[in-house]
Amino acid sequence: MEQHLQDLYEVLSKVDGYVYPNEIELNWSILIVLYPYITGLVAGAFILASLERIFKIRILKPTYGIALLTAFSFMLVATMPLVSHLGKPLRAYEIMITPHSSSAMAIFGFVYLWYLMVVLFLEIWFDYRRDMVIWAGETTGFKRFMYRLLSLWTTDISPKSVALDNRIGYIVTVIGVPSAFLLHGYVGFIFGSIKANPWWSTVLMPVIFLFSAMVSGIALVMGIYIILSKIRRQVIDMNCLDTIARYLFYILIIDFTLEGLDQIHRIYVAEESFEALHKLVFGQLFFTLFIVQGFFGTILPLLTLGTFQFYKPRAEIRKVIYLVLSVLILIGIFFMRWNVVIGGQLFSKSFYGYTSYKVGMIGAEGYLMAAIWLIVPFLILSFLLWLLPPWKKIETDHGNLEE
């Protein structure tokens, strides 16, 4: 409390121009940056998985399971930054009990549950059920109990039931793709619908969020795949990796175009808020927007991936470059969220001045808390990979069964 006030006095001394007194305190902090970031990773990873399944791009097979489990483990924590940021976290359930139909945020609970339970959970369940039944017979102790529990004590693994699982899994994926679009386009809408804030309120916001989500999700799965193969001392399927990189390249182009379009539009129409935003972009946001997000997160990967379409260096080098690029893109997209969420609060809605934001180390809204919510999904993922290793599954060729 005291510390909080002290910080605010420090911010007050740094205010540039005039901001409404209530705006000195930045209300949505780093945790709210994480929230669209994590949901974006989920949506992106899922869309990569469904490329394999729906569009039958079999070359992506090695990443299918990883992508699904990644999406699931990030989805489990997606709401945590949001909830821990609430002023009254214990009242979070109200959003499910009495959702306000006109609020963009209220529906999030349902979109989230739908996506977590109906899409991700069901898809993984149908995908793994046969294996879980088999593994339950081979293991003992905790693992055996988990398999039993997760497979709901079923035992039927006749080809007929497995075929049914596959068919339902396919349907779930088909439903899942629009759901993933919905989930993340919807997160964009939470920001895009705030008419009071010219930095946020653009119709392009949901679309931009969607494509940047895909970019980040695909980059994440690519990175995890490379690292996982290293850890397991497995040969990386370079064909698969190159294909992912190609998709990454295409989507990155779309993302870049959309964001460029948004900025060009702003510059051209030059509304009332333009001057204030201009100063913001070249002032406090310069580093995160142009250097980190723009150059390292977008242009550099674009150029590299573009070059790879014509000229491919040796596999060893490519691997390393892909890994570096995926990290760069992940950082870039994180700062894209940062620029939207934090940037949108740095300028006053009176357009006469700027406040500033300093992340603390500790406390409910500091670095550490944010880092925890970024590390937890990886722990969950490790657990899931241990429990449900995709590489130990019996090969099912999704491509053949759907017909």
**Contact positions vs other proteins (CB under 8 A):** 1, 4-5, 8, 12, 17-25, 27-28, 82, 85-88, 91-106, 108, 117, 125, 129, 151-156, 160-161, 164-165, 168, 190, 193-197, 344-345, 348-353
Report the residue number, 344 or 377, with the smaller CB distance to other proteins. Answer: 344
3-state secondary structure of 334: helix
State the maximum Cα–Cα separation within the chain, in Å, rounded to a whole number: 72
Residue 259: both structure tokens together: 């964001």
What is the smallest separation between the CB atom of 355 and other proteins, expressed in angstroms? 10
What is the smallest separation between the CB atom of 331 and other proteins, expressed in angstroms? 26
What is the smallest separation between the CB atom of 70 and other proteins, expressed in angstroms? 23
**Is 345:357 a contact under the CB 8 Å cutoff?**
yes
Say what the alpha-carbon torsion angle 165, 167, 170, 176 is, to the nearest 10 degrees: -70
Report the residue number, 297 or 344, with the smaller CB distance to other proteins. Answer: 344
What is the smallest separation between the CB atom of 291 and other proteins, expressed in angstroms? 27
CA distance 181 to 169: 18
* 48 contact partners, CB below 8 Å, separation of at least 6: 60, 63, 67, 214, 217, 218, 221, 244, 247
What is the smallest separation between the CB atom of 351 and other proteins, expressed in angstroms? 6
CA 280, 285, 291, 293 torsion: positive or negative? negative
Using alpha carbons, list the distances in angstroms from residue 198 to 195, 273, 342, 343, 351. 7, 7, 13, 11, 10
What is the smallest separation between the CB atom of 94 and other proteins, expressed in angstroms? 4
Position 223: which residue type? G
Burial environment of residue 213 by CB neighbours within 10 A (0 to 12, 13 to 18, 19 or more):
buried
Report the residue number, 197 or 356, with the smaller CB distance to other proteins. Answer: 197
What is the smallest separation between the CB atom of 35 and other proteins, expressed in angstroms? 11
Report the residue number, 199 or 322, with the smaller CB distance to other proteins. Answer: 199
- Token look-up 């997209």 returns 333
Report the residue number, 101 or 400, with the smaller CB distance to other proteins. Answer: 101
**Is 354:304 a contact under the CB 8 Å cutoff?**
no
Report the residue number, 79 or 229, with the smaller CB distance to other proteins. Answer: 79
Report the residue number, 87 or 137, with the smaller CB distance to other proteins. Answer: 87
Residue 356: both structure tokens together: 């500033």
Position 107: which residue type? I
Report the residue number, 287 or 352, with the smaller CB distance to other proteins. Answer: 352
CA distance 97 to 346: 33
What is the smallest separation between the CB atom of 90 and other proteins, expressed in angstroms? 9
